Amino acid sequence: MSGHPYLSSHFPGIGGRIKQDPADFIVEEIPLYPPCGAGEHLYLEIEKQGMTTLELLRRLARAFELRERDLGYAGLKDARARTRQWVSLPGVRLEQLGAFQAPGVRVLRAEYHRNKLRLGHLAGNRFRIRVREVDESAVDTARDVLHVLEQVGVPNFFGAQRYGVLRNSHLIGRALLAGDFAEAARQIIGDPDVIREPRWQQAARCFRDGDPAGTLANLPGSHADERRLVAALQAGRDARAAVLGFPRRKLRLFLSACQSWLFDRLVAMRLASLDLLWPGDLAYLHGKGACFLVEDPAAEQLRAERFEISPSGPLYGAKVRLSGGQAGLLEQSLLDAAGLSLESFRLPDGLTMEGERRPLRVPLGQPDAAYVDGALQLEFSLPRGSYATSVLRELMKTDEENGLDAEAPEAPLG
């Protein structure tokens, strides 16, 4: 999100630092529905820190001799935080829970339910965040900014966490969509002028200079997928085959990053009128997740002011519907400027991205700010699929180096 404007630009940033301790960033899932109390799936509410959701699932699968894919979860949570989330285990009984122990993990509740918990089956998340290295005057500014966000909505940016360590995942995705596999390979190995780790930097320099042997000699062992890509090129495979040999999940992450980058640019372009409907907008119904065409913006604007509906933007894909009118012209121009079309997202080998509509803003629930024990304590809720970093960015107005990129998603969009 670096370089994007602020919705609350008329208020100063409070600065500060976050995530100095896992307890400084507490996230609690808001379930879409409670477990019914009967059924073959055991739902666990788990508090964890220092562990990703995927690692938690691996440990649970081993402990109860289950296949990881049979476990259910509603959302992915960061390791650098204290998080509370629900998971479901098929065929596990309450009396078996004593068999599971892991450092930094506590089971808070256990209830039976009839169905597996599915990704996205949550209403949202509740956050309690401590911002350190700010003085008590930050409370008044924070309350003013939170009031603006509560009235207008939170800009629904994905942010820097979507773009990887080198901030170039979207460029890899764009190269894949454009069919430029040589460029995709260069971006995957990385720009030596951006890379900080010495061996990786040297490997990237060798790759840029057309020296695959030198690249392999310097690439750190942790870069196993990159090593296989370079080895394939060294063995004479073309760039397309070498790049498509990358793990499918990572390729989809790159494609998802390109979707996110285009969406973030659209949010930035409409930031000054984020709460206003345009002719031809596809308005997002917050209660249903569906969209409808806005033919008369003036007639629908009152519903937007009540936060029943919001302007939406595309996560571009082969089947996504674009807006009409002025809104549609902007959406198409973004795609044209990237050198892409909707058909670009129709890819082989299970990589097609169908696309969907996403609201340009989201409601901020129950915001609060107080000065507690020498730090600013923030509390608020957001609907699923949106990020606390968008709220923190408006408050802090600092770069992403102090931890605003720490909510990195672990799974691609569809």
Pairwise CA distance, residues 381 & 128, whole Å: 9
Domain boundary among 362, 389, 406: 362
Same domain for 277 and 227, yes or no, is no
CA angle at residue 261 from 256 to 266, to 5 degrees?
A: 125
**Half-sphere exposure of residue 9, counting CA atoms within 13 Å on the CB side?**
8
Q: Which pLDDT tens digit goes with each residue over 59-97?
A: 999 999 999 999 999 988 888 899 999 999 999 999 999
Pairwise CA distance, residues 385 & 379, whole Å: 18
Contact 246/229 with Cβ under 8 angstroms? yes
Instruction: Given the residues 78, 264, 281, 405, select the one marked as catalytic.
Output: 78
Same domain for 240 and 300, yes or no, is no
Pairwise CA distance, residues 73 & 54, whole Å: 10
Domain contains 253: no
Domain contains 138: no
Task: Give the pLDDT score at 399.
Answer: 61
Task: Give the pLDDT score at 3.
Answer: 67
Task: Give the pLDDT score at 388.
Answer: 94
Pairwise CA distance, residues 201 & 288, whole Å: 48
Beta strand 365-372 with 291-293 is unpaired
Task: Give the pLDDT score at 79.
Answer: 83
Low-confidence ranges of the chain (pLDDT < 50): 1, 401-403, 405-414
Same domain for 277 and 348, yes or no, is yes
Same domain for 243 and 305, yes or no, is no
Same domain for 232 and 278, yes or no, is no
Domain boundary among 362, 386, 402: 362
The sign one gets for the Cα dihedral 364, 368, 371, 377 is: negative
Pairwise CA distance, residues 315 & 353, whole Å: 9
Pairwise CA distance, residues 377 & 139, whole Å: 9
Say how many domains are in the chain: 3
Cβ atoms within 10 Å of 295's Cβ, excluding its own: 12
Q: Which pLDDT tens digit goes with each residue over 247-262?
A: 999 999 999 999 999 9
Domain contains 255: no
- State which residues form the domain around 227: 180-248
Residue 304: which CATH number? 3.30.2350.20
Of 272, 14, 54, 56, nearest to 145 by C-alpha is 14
Show the tokens assigned to 125: 């998340």
Domain contains 168: no
Task: Give the pLDDT score at 90.
Answer: 96
Task: Give the pLDDT score at 409.
Answer: 40
Is 78 known to be catalytic? yes
Pairwise CA distance, residues 409 & 78, whole Å: 8
Same domain for 287 and 344, yes or no, is yes
Domain contains 307: yes
Task: Give the pLDDT score at 405.
Answer: 43
Which CA distances in Å does 407 have to 94, 163, 262, 391, 394? 32, 12, 19, 13, 16
